[in-house]
Amino acid sequence: MTGTVCSTSMENNKIELFNKQKELLDTFLSTGAISKQQYEKSLGDMKEKMDINEDDRIEQSRLTNEEIQALAERG
């Protein structure tokens, strides 16, 4: 049981770290510090390196798809 608790805790920590890093990427995109292409590449690389998949409980972007598209068109 201890191994399961430890494993779950590590998984939760990984997801929490991912969400914090994703929030930072969202901020960079919304302020124009990075392009939509850079955002998508960085997010994809981060998911791959952290072994995050769509089934994990990742937070949704604070930006809507429409906002991301508008930012991409602007810069």
**Which tens digit of pLDDT belongs to each residue from 10-43?**
888 888 999 999 999 999 999 999 999 999 999 9
Express as a percent the part of the chain with pLDDT over 90. 44
pLDDT at 61 over 60: no
Q: How confident is the model at residue 56 (pLDDT cuts 50, 70, 90)?
A: low
CA distance 42 to 22: 9
Q: Are 15 and 58 in contact (CB under 8 A)?
A: yes
Residue 5: per-residue pLDDT: 56
Reported pTM: 0.65
Q: Are 38 and 25 in contact (CB under 8 A)?
A: no
